[in-house]
Structure 1
Amino acid sequence: MNRSFFKKAMVGTAALATVLSLAACGSKGASSSSSSSTNESSSTSSKKTVTAADKIAAAEKLIEQGKYQQALDEVNSVTKSTSESRALATDLQNYIAAKKAYNNGNYDQALTNLNTASSSSSAIKEAYQSLRSKIAAAESSSSTTSSSATSSATSATTAAATSSSSSSAANASVAQSTSEDVIDAFATKMGFNQQGYGIIPVQKNGSVYRFEVRQNNQDNTVANLIGIYEYNAETGSVTKIS
């Protein structure tokens, strides 16, 4: 009797041990599965795709810091480009070329390289507006100085220099107060929103703007004046003055 009871007790103990062992294994497997799932989720999160919008936002900050080449590199690294990322890349390429020409004293080339901004980036539009203002002042100053060089009278030369300074400041002021959106609207309407054309705002009266429009010669060495136009930003009407 005691021996039989002892055997039954041993069998029961062994069975309980087996059940506990299986339960522990199941718990460990579930824990491992959960851990693996968490790791996979973390890995997926860390590999989040950088979108064109992310790249454009990063480029905007670089433009604000004056780092135009880095901004261009950022936009060009977009995996799947969009119309906006392509437009911003073009605007940056034009700006960099225009700034280089301006720094080298080639104001005609700088103006026609700049053309108009086609993206919606507020940062690049501000950069365009600032550079256009500098080009307008430099163009005016260069033109007046060149004309006054033929005068031999001291008083005439002094007057020309004074006129040059006043004209340069006026043109720069008008250019600085004329938004790139207005220039782009005028250029698009007239077909001047392409490489080879340069636009300088020279007068502003309310919503009516006066623009000088120039076009490169075949050698891209000189931008000849092709007309002076008045553009009404409210009505969209354009009148050629000369």
Structure 2
Amino acid sequence: MASQFGKRILIGTVTLGMALSLAACGNSATPSGSSAKSSSTQTMDSTATAVKQANHLISEGKYQAALDKLNALDHQTTTTSALRRDLKNYLAAKSSLKDNNYDEAATSLSTVKSTSSSMKSAYSKLRSQIASAKESGTSTNATSQANSNSNSSAANASVASATSEDVVNTFASQAGFNKEGYGIIPVSKNGNVYRFEVRQDNADGSVANFVGIYDFNATTKQITQIQ
């Protein structure tokens, strides 16, 4: 009897020890999971904060600072990547415009990929500036001027100002011009029908080729090539 009683005590002690050990393991695992979740949350928060700050900088016209803010992130998301791409293209187009390379400015600008309203507004204003420069025909770049003259660019600054980036993006997507290297400049507007001039950058980085002039019905989404 004493022997059996001793065995029961021993078994009970072992069982209790195992239970305590398992409980300890469970408790030690919980902080690890919480830590991983906390780290992920912190990353998401820092990314969201950076995007918010970048958009604020964009609204103030501080495009390089906005790009630097996004480049400093340790983790990039689809949102930050799209906004970085838009900023890089914007800065490249701005630089080309400053150098009087209007066609190159147009093809560098391309179309907005992010959902940033500040970025769309910046693109729209720059597109209008490019159209105004092309319309005035004051390019000092001989090659660019010759190319523009040969294809009689019909850019219209006032129409560009009245054309939203959403319309430009929809046209580009429908026509297959929403890729890098395509420049889209508003030419005219008649009701819901927009006319765009399209150019494509050369692989060697020289003057952009004239692709054509298209009418786009923003209501029916119908596209007609005019030239």
Q: TM-score, normalised by structure 1?
A: 0.67
Distance 1:187 1:134 in 2: 19
Preserved CA contact (<8 Å) 1:51 1:80: no
* Cα 1:98/1:144, change in 2 over 3 Å: closer
Deviation of residue 48 (structure 1)?
A: 5.2
* Cα 1:217/1:181, change in 2 over 3 Å: same
> Which amino acid is 1:101 matched to?
S
Structure 1 match to 2:185: 200
Deviation of residue 190 (structure 1)?
A: 1.4
Structure 1 match to 2:50: 55
| Aligned-CA RMSD value | 2.4
Deviation of residue 144 (structure 1)?
A: 9.9
Are 2:164 and 1:179 aligned?
yes
Q: TM-score, normalised by structure 2?
A: 0.72
* Cα 1:62/1:227, change in 2 over 3 Å: same
Deviation of residue 141 (structure 1)?
A: 1.8
Deviation of residue 117 (structure 1)?
A: 0.6
Superposed, 1:117-132 pairs within 5 Å as 117-132=112-127
* Cα 1:75/1:141, change in 2 over 3 Å: same
Aligned length: 176
Distance 2:218 2:62 in 1: 32
Preserved CA contact (<8 Å) 2:188 2:195: yes
Is the radius of gyration larger for structure 1 or structure 2?
1
Quick one: percent identity of the two aligned structures? Answer: 51
Q: Which runs of 5+ in 2 are unaligned?
A: 1-37, 146-153
Distance 2:116 2:80 in 1: 10
Structure 2 match to 1:68: 63
Instruction: Please list every run of at least 4 consecutive aligned residues from structure 1 whose deviation after the TM superposition is greater than 4 angstroms.
Output: 143-146
* Cα 1:144/1:100, change in 2 over 3 Å: closer
Structure 2 match to 1:37: none
> Secondary structure at the residue paired with 2:137?
helix
Preserved CA contact (<8 Å) 2:135 2:157: no
